[in-house]
Amino acid sequence: MLSKLSVERFKSLVKLELELGQINLFIGANGSGKSNLLEALGVLGAAAFGRVDDETLLRRGVRPGLPQLYKTAFPLKRKENVPHILFGAEATTGATFEVTLWNPLQNPSPAWRFKTENLRRGINDVVVTRTTTSAGKHNQEQGMAALRTVELQPGDAALELMNQLRTYSIYCPNTPSLRGLVQDLQAREPVGLAGGRLPEAVKELLESARKDISINGMLDEVRDLIDWARDFSAAPSADVPLSPSAARSRLVIRFVDRFMVKGRNALTGYDASEGALYVLFCAVLALHPKAPRCLAVDNIDQTLNPRLAQRLVSALCAWTARPGVDRQWFLTAHNPAVLDGLPLDDRRIRLFAVDRDSNGHSRIRRIDLAKALGARPDEGWTLSRMWINGLLGGVPNV
């Protein structure tokens, strides 16, 4: 897993270094820089792939941008005012990957150019180094570290770090894609970045549960989260009641309502609540064997009522933190109830407040969950109440 992330001169992230956990939740006002952080890791993932252009960025859920928008436009100190942006990550194994990228503000090229690169297994174990003096001797639009990984053996710490960065994507599902009404432009296994391919992913997850009793038990927890449904599955669209005007795919999500009369209690993903589809989407990312090892979900609380948002985050933490799971999450949220679903005694779960300083720079501060809540033990203050009242930071000054 990633243990550290460094970013310099990218959008509102002028200079920061974060120590990461297995689940990392970022709270803050709209426009504070939460999505910029998720996208910074996406740019680094594209660099690990070997090319940083619109195609590789979109593939990771990153909004492409011109150099004048990517490179911070905020006033900088003279020593910070350099023409490139920096991204770096360190794994728990000690392996590190750091890259600086540049592109002319005027007449930019389609692909960003690699200024420097450093891939190491440890402090003194260099795999690849590209310096400013040697950069011009190679194709500057192609990452050298990505090429070198072809030679590395499975289990190599440097290769593991690069593979984790390459699989990173930012998921932001929307209701039409979850329902299958529109095509997901970034479709992939097990589920697309906007929620496409959800019925197929649910079918695969149910099949894997037949072989793994632990997954089967966690799917019972998913059923409890969708309290109005007795069960869910994926079924051929021809076998379930479906309006003739609805777009038909081969498979659809099928729910069995616990309150409706038998024989008329089957609902598809076209008719069910979007919250139920969103719960299944998150369950797929947490439990599906092919889900990426490193991923982000922007606005984890969308479409959910406060109680369900709290319970879903609590479940995600439990599913991810179980022994043998090597999956790392980066989440953003605006619903205070999400905070009350965090297990306070688990150091792998980390909460960060994102604010802007007087210069407009994003500042990201880790909040010690147990210490924050313990500061008011006799007053009945929950984390959600503390956030709303401005005691944690990450709220607009309005």
The pLDDT tens digits for 170-220 are 999 999 999 888 889 999 999 999 999 999 999 999 999 998 888 999 999
| Amino acid (1-letter code) at residue 101 | L
Q: What is the pLDDT of residues 18-57, one digit of tens each?
A: 999 999 999 999 999 999 999 999 999 999 999 999 999 9
Question: Cis bond leading into 75, ω under 30°?
Answer: no
| Amino acid (1-letter code) at residue 39 | E
Q: What is the DSSP letter of 153?
A: P
Q: What confidence tier does 378 reach under pLDDT thresholds 50, 70, 90?
A: low
Pairwise CA distance, residues 117 & 371, whole Å: 39
More confident residue, 250 or 117: 117
Pairwise CA distance, residues 19 & 111, whole Å: 30
In angstroms, what CA-CA distances link 254 with 172, 242, 341? 23, 11, 28
Pairwise CA distance, residues 99 & 44, whole Å: 8
Tokens representing residue 137 in the block? 């001797």
Pairwise CA distance, residues 313 & 333, whole Å: 10
CA atoms within 13 A on the CB side of 300: 34
Q: What confidence tier does 115 reach under pLDDT thresholds 50, 70, 90?
A: very high
The percentage of residues in the chain with a pLDDT greater than 90, rounded to a whole number, is 69
Q: What is the CA radius of gyration of the chain?
A: 22
Pairwise CA distance, residues 308 & 275, whole Å: 9
Nearest-CA neighbor of 256 among 248, 264, 244, 245? 264
Tokens representing residue 150 in the block? 């072809």
| Predicted local distance difference test score (pLDDT) of residue 256 | 93
Nearest-CA neighbor of 162 among 129, 121, 101? 121
Cβ neighbours of residue 319 closer than 8 Å, sequence gap 6 or more: 218, 286, 287, 325
Own/partner contacts of 189-196, CB < 8 Å, gap of 24 or more, are 189/290, 190/284, 190/285, 190/288, 190/290, 190/291, 191/281, 191/284, 191/285, 191/288, 193/61, 193/169, 195/277, 195/281
Q: What is the pLDDT of residues 279-320, one digit of tens each?
A: 999 999 999 999 999 999 999 999 899 999 999 999 999 999
Pairwise CA distance, residues 92 & 87, whole Å: 17
Sign (positive or negative) of CA dihedral 67, 68, 70, 74: positive
The DSSP annotation for 363-385 comes to EEEEE-HHHHHHTSTTTT--HHH
Own/partner contacts of 28-31, CB < 8 Å, gap of 24 or more, are 28/332, 28/353, 28/354, 28/355, 28/393, 28/394, 28/395, 29/354, 29/355, 29/356, 29/394, 29/395, 29/396, 30/334, 30/396, 31/356
Residue 230 pLDDT > 80: yes
DSSP, collapsed to helix, strand or coil, labels residue 246 as: coil
Q: What is the DSSP letter of 135?
A: G
- What's this model's pTM, rounded to 2 decimal places? 0.94
How many degrees, rounded to 5, is the angle at CA 339 between CA 335 and CA 343? 155
Pairwise CA distance, residues 171 & 132, whole Å: 35
- Backbone phi, psi, residue 242, to 5°: -150, 130
Query: How many CB atoms sit inside 10 A of residue 330's CB?
Result: 25
- Range among 76-85, 328-337, 379-388 rated most confident: 328-337
Pairwise CA distance, residues 60 & 58, whole Å: 5
In angstroms, what CA-CA distances link 85 with 9, 13, 80? 5, 10, 10
